Amino acid sequence: MPALTDPIPLLQALVRAPSVTPETAGVLDILEKALTALGFSVERPVFSGDGSYTVENLFAIRDRGGKRLLLAGHTDVVPPGDLEKWTRDPFSGAISDGVLFGRGAADMKSGLAAMVAAIARMAESGADEAGTLALLITNDEEADAINGTDKLLAWATERGHSFDFAVVGEPSATAEVGDVIRIGRRGSVSYRITVSGKQGHVAYPDKALNPLPALSRIGAALSGTPLDAGTAHFPPSSLQLTSIDVGNPTSNVIPAQGSLRFNIRFNDLWTPEALDGWVKAQIAKAEPGSAGVSVDRLGRPSRVFRAPVEGPVVLLIETIKARTGRAPELSTGGGTSDGRFIAAYCPVVELGLPGPTMHQVNEQVRIADVEALTALYEAFFSRYLKG
């Protein structure tokens, strides 16, 4: 038990497991051993299908009645990239000058290690006698996110589990632990637009139909038209072109077609269905003429979610103020997380470390930050479960 109260050895062990999506590389074994020692019942559901790879997940629960707190996160990491650019082995968990290095150190094995250590400290002090704790951990957040948290939540619900509040351990802070709580996220939806014409020789444009002028006008209409100015709780929606593809290797051929891809991060003024109509309106505004135009959504959209600033969120704010002397910023900015799935089951927030190096070469975390996050988790978990 005493070893589990220190998050750093556990974080090193997790980083040393090269769990690039969807390979677990033993990382779930490490967590199962730690959580079993803390009195949790652990199951490892495996999901597959729906056009994606097979994923192993972990669900752990220690049911003592009372309030039901869900802790969530992911063990999978992105590939390390060019190994020559790393100053240390990306899966070594090496420590130097108070900093721990490795892929996943920031995003987000540190959050999981801090959660486990906080629970171990509660057990050591006797502060864990009330309330129910559950951990929902996937190895499929960084890629498809199809056979991970979404299905794991449905699986848990089918078995009678329910939750009152959830904390996701994703990197959420900006400069210091506790300076930001992410209480929601914008939605996300991606599209591909394909414009078709007729291939021909550039010297005889009258015998061809060039799709690229129409494609250019559509791209300009999409990127040049603001969606909104933001709302009381969310920043402005944002559309970003991500790719324009023609696949034409020569300079004397008018291509038969071209396509562009883009992503929209949208606030609570929009739904994916409403954005479908907005996209089609921009295409019409661009006057594609006789060129053929098709629009496809790419993948599954993520919907907007926001936790109400009441009850557990207020308690979390008070806990942070008591420990740091300052009130945290309540943010709905940034990308997406698995919180988008959890929000359908209970209110959810994200609370984790600063993550300026996540997904970068030489990803790293300050040991002092991991310790600060562990202490903050311990304080909040104890207060919340006591009611």
Cα Dmax for the chain: 83
Neighbours of 103 (CB within 10 A): 28
Report yes or no: 91 and 18 within 8 Å, Cβ to Cβ: yes
Between helices 27-37 and 110-125, what is the axis angle to 10°?
10
Question: 142: annotated binding-site residue?
Answer: yes
How far, in Å, CA of 143 to CA of 121, rounded? 33
Measure CA 53 to chain center. Answer: 18
Q: What torsion do the CA atoms of 122, 123, 124, 125 make, to the nearest 10 degrees?
A: 50
How far, in Å, CA of 211 to CA of 213, rounded? 6
Measure CA 153 to chain center. Answer: 16
The closest alpha carbon to 6, from 383, 374, 382, belongs to 374
Q: Any catalytic annotation for residue 76?
A: yes
| Burial category of 170 from C-beta neighbours within 10 Å (exposed 0-12, middle 13-18, buried 19 and up) | buried
Q: Which of 56, 140, 141, 338 is catalytic?
A: 141
Question: 107: annotated binding-site residue?
Answer: yes
Ramachandran assignment for 325, one of left (phi > 0), alpha (psi -120 to 50 degrees), beta (any other): left
How far, in Å, CA of 318 to CA of 112, rounded? 23
Neighbours of 127 (CB within 10 A): 18
Ramachandran assignment for 117, one of left (phi > 0), alpha (psi -120 to 50 degrees), beta (any other): alpha
DSSP code string of 362-384: T-EEEHHHHHHHHHHHHHHHHHH
Question: 74: annotated binding-site residue?
Answer: yes
For residue 383, which amino acid is it?
R
Question: 170: annotated binding-site residue?
Answer: yes
For the annotated binding site for Zn(2+), the residues are 74, 107, 142, 170, 359
Which residues are part of the catalytic machinery?
76, 141
